[in-house]
A and B are shown apart, each in its own frame.
Chain A
């Protein structure tokens, strides 16, 4: 058994803790500068991420096993109700999908007549949320698909209710999603009811529209969808619903608060939608 003194020597020699602290502080300031200003540590991040991911995946196993087990004990009644709801939904979607098929055929035909390039179909990958940053400043989540699965930075991430965010960095096995609520994230959107274009900004807690003049026709409850302008997000994805509008005349523009539709705090599965850079 290794004997080890648990208290420091009475007369320590070498650097004092204060001096060591100063050295380490300088080292971290150097790292912070390299990382943030020159993005010089990306390869290091990528390497660390590839090492950490297998551990995260292993840790996911008992958690999902528990989920499966508690799913096994769901009440019969709950299942029946859910089943009935799903059937009803399936019928409705069946109808909508038929309409969609005919509309899309018609659209294709009309576009061909107008000699417009037909909109390319979207390709998507299903992915699972494997990690959530504890860092309160960055609204980041990591997914279990990376550049090896063909994920590219810039792709949109959605769940079944709406836009979740955008892939901002990809590593070989994982990728990082910046949520639409992130302070540095903005999404070109359109008010579905009126067709008004706007830009939606993340605020850290939620999302809001800025730079809309007071005369804009918007109401609480309006649905915002991606407009596809800028070519980053595909058009027509549900994003958010307007909750309140601050149009005091003391401000130059309206401040419109919105509620994102995607439920990243509840869902595990998301869809990565490739926005193919269209050849021009």
Chain B
């Protein structure tokens, strides 16, 4: 029984502190707020959504449908969208994620990338549907490119977040 009392191996991943969680969400939002060039805007990944998805996978007791809704509301205010538009789509994407959360938790990032792209797609499509219901219309196909860039950004994002995990030494009491 000794190996259970004193587990071997380099470190045990013990999750993230609340400060890192809040900080990364803030960072994602600030990245979205950066003054991007208007002709390259369609390539910009939604960093806040990526952060939300990351935490919905790794801290599902803290970030769920409700917090995603509030973060979407924040995006509505900062993007000048209809109030409630991104709120719905963020909540839907995170809800879809909660259905697969246990599997995604154990996946390596390259295996998470495709489901993440699907959640980004779900967010985009629901966003387009709501906007269409509200009477907007525009050529939205180029904006689908942000799904690809978002998926590509997932890897560095995952890497940074993974490094920020709180690690317990192997022989901690």
Q: Is A55 an interface residue (CB 8 A)?
A: yes
- Flag if B38 contacts A264 (CB, 8 Å): yes
Residues A172-190 near B (CB distance < 8 A): 176, 183
Q: Is B111 an interface residue (CB 8 A)?
A: no
- Flag if B66 contacts A8 (CB, 8 Å): no
- Flag if B138 contacts A5 (CB, 8 Å): no
Task: Enumerate chain A residues within 8 angstroms of B131, measured Cβ to Cβ.
Answer: 135, 137
- Flag if B84 contacts A63 (CB, 8 Å): no
Task: Enumerate chain A residues within 8 angstroms of B84, measured Cβ to Cβ.
Answer: 27-32, 35
Report the separation of the CA atoms of residues A140 and B59 in the bound assembly, to the nearest whole angstrom.
35
Evaluate whether A4 and B59 lie within 8 angstroms (CB atoms) in the complex, with A32-B85, A52-B77, A137-B136 already known.
yes
A8, A17, A28, A31 pick with most chain B CB within 10 angstroms: A28
Q: Is B78 an interface residue (CB 8 A)?
A: yes
Q: Is B18 an interface residue (CB 8 A)?
A: yes
- Flag if B33 contacts A7 (CB, 8 Å): no
Interface size counted on chain A using CB atoms at 8 A: 53
Residue pairs across A and B with Cβ atoms less than 8 A apart, 5 shown, are A3-B14, A8-B61, A17-B98, A28-B91, A135-B131
- Flag if B33 contacts A131 (CB, 8 Å): yes
| Per-position binary interface string of chain A over residues 31-74, scored 1 when its CB falls under 8 Å from any chain B CB and 0 otherwise | 11011100001001100110010011001100100000000000
Task: Enumerate chain A residues within 8 angstroms of B82, measured Cβ to Cβ.
Answer: 32, 35-36
Closest-by-CB residue of A relative to B130 is: A32
Report the separation of the CA atoms of residues A31 and B130 in the bound assembly, to the nearest whole angstrom.
13
Report the separation of the CA atoms of residues A199 and B91 in the bound assembly, to the nearest whole angstrom.
41
Q: Is B92 an interface residue (CB 8 A)?
A: yes
- Flag if B77 contacts A49 (CB, 8 Å): yes
CB distance from A181 to the nearest CB of B (A): 10
Q: Is A25 an interface residue (CB 8 A)?
A: yes
Name B81's contact: one of A132, A133, A142, A204 (CB within 8 Å). A133
- Flag if A135 contacts B77 (CB, 8 Å): no
Q: Which residues of B contact A (CB under 8 A)?
A: 14-15, 17-18, 30, 32-39, 41-42, 44, 46, 58-62, 64-66, 69, 73, 77-85, 87-88, 91-92, 95, 98, 101-102, 105, 130-131, 134-140, 143, 166
Report the separation of the CA atoms of residues A164 and B38 in the bound assembly, to the nearest whole angstrom.
14
Task: Enumerate chain B residues within 8 angstroms of A31, measured Cβ to Cβ.
Answer: 73, 83-84, 87
Q: Which residues of A contact B (CB under 8 A)?
A: 1-8, 17-18, 20-21, 24-25, 27-32, 34-36, 41, 44-45, 48-49, 52, 55-56, 59-60, 63, 129-138, 140-142, 176, 183, 204-205, 264-265
Report the separation of the CA atoms of residues A22 and B157 in the bound assembly, to the nearest whole angstrom.
30
- Flag if B87 contacts A24 (CB, 8 Å): yes
Report the separation of the CA atoms of residues A34 and B73 in the bound assembly, to the nearest whole angstrom.
14
Closest-by-CB residue of A relative to B75 is: A134
Report the separation of the CA atoms of residues A204 and B143 in the bound assembly, to the nearest whole angstrom.
14
Task: Enumerate chain A residues within 8 angstroms of B78, measured Cβ to Cβ.
Answer: 48, 52
Task: Enumerate chain B residues within 8 angstroms of A205, measured Cβ to Cβ.
Answer: 138-139
Closest-by-CB residue of B relative to A142 is: B80
Name A132's contact: one of B41, B102, B134 (CB within 8 Å). B41
Task: Enumerate chain B residues within 8 angstroms of A36, measured Cβ to Cβ.
Answer: 82, 134-135
Report the separation of the CA atoms of residues A32 and B134 in the bound assembly, to the nearest whole angstrom.
8
- Flag if A28 contacts B34 (CB, 8 Å): no
CB distance from B127 to the nearest CB of A (A): 9
Name B80's contact: one of A4, A20, A135 (CB within 8 Å). A135
Closest-by-CB residue of B relative to A132 is: B38
Task: Enumerate chain B residues within 8 angstroms of A20, measured Cβ to Cβ.
Answer: 64-66
Report the separation of the CA atoms of residues A18 and B92 in the bound assembly, to the nearest whole angstrom.
10
Given pairs A24-B66, A59-B33, A133-B80, 12 additional interface contacts (CB within 8 A): A17-B98, A27-B84, A28-B87, A28-B91, A35-B82, A36-B135, A45-B77, A129-B35, A133-B81, A134-B44, A137-B131, A205-B139
Task: Enumerate chain B residues within 8 angstroms of A55, measured Cβ to Cβ.
Answer: 30, 33
